[in-house]
Structure 1
Amino acid sequence: MSKSIITLNGLKIVIMLGMMVIILAGVRIAAEIIVPFVLAIFIAVILNPVIQYMVRLRVPRALAIFTLISLIIFFVVVLLAYLGTTLNDLARTLPRYRTSLVIPLQTIEPWLQRAGIKVSVEQLIKYIDPNSAMTFISTLLTQLSSAMTSIFLLLLTVVFMLLEAPQLPTKLQYTLSRPSAGMAAMQRAIDSVSHYLVLKTAISLLTGLIVWIMLLVLGVQFSFIWGLLAMALNFIPNIGSVLAAIPAILQVLVFQGVYDALTVLAGYMVINLVIGNILEPRMMGRGLGLSTLVVFMSLIFWGWLLGAVGMLLSVPLTIVVKIALEQSEGGKRIAMLLNDVPDYK
């Protein structure tokens, strides 16, 4: 009897794992449709507190949504226009960097030779091709010119979501088997995600602004692009800030020399130390309830499943999954593995 029960339980696990694989494969195949929808949901979550505040000021909800979305469209158009101009300047500058790269490489060469690393500057220069970088920037400019249609459709979806938001709780109650527990869990997920996204957006904007000002003061070209990159990649946990610093430091190393590059590196380190280790934990308040390992693994998983947007939203998506798992007895055990500090009560 016990043997048959074990066999049945094993069969259930195999079936569940098979269903999970099929679902994940389907999500990945349909990522082109799912990603804009997921992104629209999280943008709506960020904007909803602003809309609610405007409604409390006796502004009609439809007017508040129209005003806020109009401001966003205006800033996006201005941003894309300025970004396109800056990228064009960067593309025109790129052919110079092959010649400029010789000087820092010749400066570093003796240090590497003292460390026992034999490097030939002449051989390295042969592998550097500015045409590939120019092709990448040209492709990026083409994508920017066609991005407005996608952004418009995305914001239109956000508008309908914000208009539907007040009626959504009532509708969801009729679809849940346990309305009170389900709505409480859903509200907790919304509060956690909203708390994270609103503060993370504010911190990312501050990070990008400080990086932009720092690079402007140091006389670094294309500082706006690197500030924008720092703001965007700050949403990626653990490695985002590191990735954002690399292009700016490499550019300064090529055009301005080793010591200026070290100065920029020190500036990035100070910014990341103050904002990432001091300001952000204070603003975030209580922890996310996720261990550091889970945060990093979720970055890899959601990036594989949903691409760049999955990496940017890896933490809120994992928070939602964790809260959903906590609603069932079997899921609670898995959710406990995701916790930063396990609750054994």
Structure 2
Amino acid sequence: MESPPDETEGSTALAEPANPHRNAFIMMGIGGATIAAFGLAAIAGIFAPFFLGVVLTICVHPLRVWLERHGVPRGIATGAVIVTVIGLLLALGYAMVVAFGQFGALLAEFSDQIAAFGQDVAAWLSSIGVASGEVDTIFASFDPASLLSFLGGLIGGLTGWLSLLVIIFTMLLLMGMDAGFVPTLLKQLYPARPLIVASLVTYGANVRRYMVATTVLGLAQGIVDWIALLIIGVPGAFIWGLLAFVCSFIPNIGYFIALVPPIIFAALVGGWPMVIVVIVVYAIINGVIQSVIQPRVIGKAVNLSQTITFFSVLFWAVVIGPIGAILAIPLTLLVRLILVDSNPQMSWIRPLLGELDETRAVMAQFDAEAKAERKARKAAKAGGVPSGNPPASAM
């Protein structure tokens, strides 16, 4: 007579409490997230500079703490922080204006070569049967002067940039003054909401470590790329070094964005040999900084998987524009703060988001056990002992 089935089978699946409204809650969450995304896209013009001001205020907060710790009055410390941030923004803005001017001169100088390069690409595509008549028409009508007119329109729209800077500077001024009360407010809030306070403090520390480390390493990367391109002889080396610095804030795809322009101009002046040199130099410089140095410096500040990081860049770029790609990591960490870090019931999802320390330990244990098992089978086979259980003797 067969024994009844073990009632403990499937107990793992029955361990969670039944929730008849689970699917409805999931759909409501997806719907709410969609509405929030469209809402942010609608106010991207003010949300993007506002959040940039928040991130900058978080980054310079240690300077305020250091000044106040050394006896500097709170008002002077606030003014010093605001002046520091505005000075950095003005320096970056000046560098971008210089780069725009050089880019316009570069396009004017190489307009004929760029047009010829476009024709060569069109001819090559046609020779392999990829290009269609429409593509040929596009390349045939390509005129580098259109890029100059685009650049002129971009610089001509300086009023929009000025309004954006006014919003950023105003937010820095106001948040810089309000930031002086934040430590005391957190101490007051901690007895009632300790998890929220801890999550806010951790968020600020992680964003600050990520942004400061990325800025310093991106600046080093841009300078090294600039010098390397000068040595190689690629036109517009300063422009491409500045582009490498800006793209260092865009995870995963920033490297490829920064690589395309110097490859094109290297092909115009030096052909394939110079292109290969540029690719190798960029791969070495960016590989060492972004793959070796940056993870060690940032550490666990960004516990996000590579897939989520890549998707966050695309998502925030679509929602709030190009600045969303630069602020993708701080924005994603903010969403995580709201939905996961401040909610103790969501701690189970942390490994799925990228906190893999425990997962790596479990995988290492599995690998060690599998390796030991393979060694045992190999030793048993070498000794002439069959692996597995011996066959049962006949009755």
Distance verdict in 2 for CA 1:160–1:24, change over 3 Å: same
Cα 1:323/1:158, change in 2 over 3 Å: same
Report matched runs for 1:29-108 at 5 Å.
29-74=42-87, 76-77=89-90, 79-81=92-94, 83-101=96-114
Write 1 or 2 for the structure with the bigger share of helix.
1
Separation (CA, whole Å) in 1 of partners of 2:90 and 2:183:
34
State the shift of 1:247 in Å: 0.8
2:341 corresponds to which residue? 326
Cα 1:172–1:85 change in 2 (3 A) is closer
* Unaligned segments of structure 1, at least 5 residues: none
Distance of aligned partners of 1:259 and 1:180 in 2 relative to their CA distance in 1, 3 Å threshold? same
Query: Where in structure 2 are the equivalents of 1:280-291 lying within 5 Å?
Result: 280-286=294-300, 288-291=302-305
Cα deviations across residues 70-123 of structure 1 (Å, max 9, x unaligned)?
35545544554454344334324424434324787899999x79xx83799x98
Asked if structure 2 preserves the Cα contact closer than 8 Å seen for 1:226 and 1:244, the reply is: yes
Indicate if the aligned counterparts of 1:80 and 1:144 stay in contact, CA closer than 8 A: no
Look up the equivalent residue of 1:117 and give its one-letter code: I
Corresponding residue to 2:199 among 185, 193, 205: 185
Seen in structure 2, the aligned counterparts of structure 1 residues 223 and 146 have a Cα distance that, compared at 3 Å, is farther
With over 3 angstroms needed to count, the CA separation of the structure-2 counterparts of 1:331 and 1:94, relative to structure 1, is: same
* Correspondence for 1:133: 147
Does 1:243 find its partner at 2:257?
yes
Equivalent position SS for 1:237: coil
Please tell me the residue identity of whatever aligns with 1:249.
I
Equivalences for 1:125-204 in 2 at 5 Å? 126-144=140-158, 147-171=161-185, 178-204=192-218
Indicate the residue corresponding to 2:41 in structure 1: 28
1:229 to partner: Cα distance: 0.9
Residue 254 of structure 1 is matched in structure 2 by: 268
Determine the C-alpha separation between the residues in 1 that align with 2:220 and 2:113.
Answer: 32
Structure 1 counterpart of 2:356, one-letter code: V
Once the two structures are TM-superposed, the CA of residue 303 in structure 1 deviates from its matched residue by: 1.7
Instruction: Output the CA distance in 2 between the equivalents of 1:87 and 1:11.
Output: 52
Inter-partner Cα distance in structure 1 for 2:310 and 2:173: 32
Structure 2 equivalent of residue 216 of structure 1: 230
Amino acid at match of 1:248: P
CA contact (8 A) 2:305 2:354 kept: yes
Q: Does 1:117 align with 2:132?
A: no
Contact preservation (8 Å) 1:101, 1:255? no
Aligned to 2:240: 226
Cα distance in 1 for partners of 2:49, 2:96 equals 22
2:352 is matched with which residue: 312, 337, 343? 337
Any idea what SS the aligned residue of 1:257 has?
helix
Identity across the alignment (%): 26
Letter in 1 for 2:282: Y
Amino acid at match of 1:13: I
The worse-fitting range, judged by mean Cα deviation, of 58-67 and 44-53 is 58-67
Q: What is the CA–CA distance in structure 1 between the aligned matches of 2:30 and 2:115, rounded to whole Å?
A: 55
Deviation at 1:258, TM superposition (A): 2.8
Q: Which has the larger radius of gyration?
A: 2
CA contact (8 A) 2:341 2:347 kept: yes
Offset, 1:287: 6.1
Check 1:25–1:174 CA distance in 2 against 1; reply closer, same or farther (3 A cut): farther
Cα 1:16/1:109, change in 2 over 3 Å: closer
Q: Rate the CA distance shift 1:38–1:177 in 2: closer, same or farther, 3 A.
A: farther
- Cα RMSD (Å) of the superposition? 3.3
Q: Normalised by the size of structure 1, how large is the TM-score? A: 0.83
CA deviation profile, 1:266-297 (whole Å, cap 9, x unmatched)? 22111111111221122223362211111111
Shift of 1:304: 1.9
Q: Indicate conservation of the 8 Å contact 1:44/1:162, yes or no.
A: yes
Contact 2:81 2:176 in 1 (8 A): no
SS of corresponding position for 2:39: helix
Task: Structure 2: give runs of 5+ residues left out of the alignment.
Answer: 1-17, 363-395
For 2:30 and 2:99, locate their aligned partners in 1 and report how far apart those are by CA, in whole Å: 49
Label 1:282 to 1:342 Cα distance change in 2 as closer, same or farther (>3 A).
Answer: closer
Alpha-carbon deviation of 1:244? 0.7
Q: CA deviation at 1:41?
A: 0.4
The one-letter code matched in structure 2 to 1:52 is: V
Matching residue within 302, 309, 317 for 2:331: 317
Per the TM alignment, residue 240 of structure 1 is displaced from its structure 2 partner at its CA by 0.5
Residue 250 of structure 1, CA deviation: 0.8
Work out whether residues 99 and 239 of structure 2, in 8 Å CA contact, stay in contact via their aligned partners in 1.
yes
Structure 1's 174 and 52: CA in aligned 2 closer, same or farther, altered over 3 A?
closer
